[in-house]
């Protein structure tokens, strides 16, 4: 908070957005877990004054404190992950399984089919060919799991017969980060299911645990 931002002064929408953006960055850096991020984000949008905003980012590194001005329109980190030709456009499992994970480029449309089998489509370390991609999952007596990183907008549109698509990720309250891609999960499940999860990578979780340990040691 600068000298001209007295605690009792009313905060603007731009001030709240700047704090929200810092929280998103902190989560991406592993400084906040999903639960902490959600709690602080909720407090940010409820804050009425600078005095209420200031404590929300007090324990975060430099640049965390609010100052007037618009929030950045897009995240540089996301901009660097969007673009390039897709490296794999289909996956098939017939009484077997498949995986798409690690460093790969997701095309505008990815088609996956499983018959009495299963598969995992992990987007946490992936690049994205475009800002909006479609993951089309068709499973018969099988299952699939789609994993997306925090901050990505998810729209689940698939339907099932004696099966279904997990839509909880659309209702978890996780804020979409500026510039992040949109993932549409669609398709059909018969006697099977398609799960959709929002998770950090192991490296991000490890970093988060290290940060927590360091804070605890410092008291």
**Tens digits of residue pLDDT in 50-81:** 888 889 988 887 543 444 444 444 456 788 89
Q: Which residue has the tokens 């991000």?
A: 204
Burial (0-12, 13-18, 19+ Cβ within 10 Å), 80: exposed
**Tens digits of residue pLDDT in 10-37:** 888 777 878 887 887 777 777 888 788 8
C-alpha atoms less than 13 angstroms from C-alpha of 172 in its C-beta half-sphere = 23
192 backbone dihedrals φ, ψ, rounded to 5°? -165, -175
Q: In terms of Cα–Cα distance, which of 140, 141, 147, 59 is closest to 104?
A: 147
Give the start-to-end residue ranges of the domains of the chain. Answer: 13-72, 86-202
pLDDT for the residue numbered 173: 53
Go through the chain and tell me how many residues it has: 219
Helix ranges (DSSP H) in 54-201? 76-79
Q: With the C-alpha atoms ordered 159, 165, 171, 174, is the resulting torsion angle positive or negative?
A: negative
**Tens digits of residue pLDDT in 85-102:** 999 899 999 999 999 999
- Quick check: helix, strand or coil at residue 60? coil
**Tens digits of residue pLDDT in 100-134:** 999 999 999 999 999 999 999 999 999 999 999 99
pLDDT over 90 (residue 138): yes
């Amino acid at each position: 908070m600068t000298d001209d931002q007295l605690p009792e002064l009313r905060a603007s929408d731009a001030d709240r957005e700047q704090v929200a953006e810092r929280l998103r960055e902190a989560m991406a850096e592993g400084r906040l877990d999903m639960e902490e991020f959600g709690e602080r984000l909720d407090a940010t949008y409820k804050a009425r004054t600078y005095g209420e905003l200031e404590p929300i980012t007090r324990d975060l590194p430099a640049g965390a404190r609010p100052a007037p001005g618009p929030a950045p329109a897009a995240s540089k980190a996301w901009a660097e992950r969007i673009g390039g030709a897709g490296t794999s456009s289909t996956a098939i499992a017939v009484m077997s399984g498949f995986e798409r994970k690690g460093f790969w480029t997701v095309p505008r449309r990815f088609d996956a089919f499983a018959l009495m089998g299963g598969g995992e489509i992990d987007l946490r370390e992936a690049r994205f060919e475009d800002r909006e991609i479609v993951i089309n999952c068709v499973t018969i007596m099988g299952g699939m799991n789609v994993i997306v990183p925090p901050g990505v907008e998810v729209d689940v549109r698939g339907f099932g017969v004696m099966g279904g698509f997990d839509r909880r990720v659309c209702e978890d309250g996780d804020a979409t980060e500026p510039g992040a891609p949109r993932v549409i999960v669609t398709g059909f499940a018969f006697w099977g299911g398609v799960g959709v999860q929002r998770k950090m990578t192991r490296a991000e979780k490890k970093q988060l645990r290290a940060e927590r340990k360091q804070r605890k040691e410092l008291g």
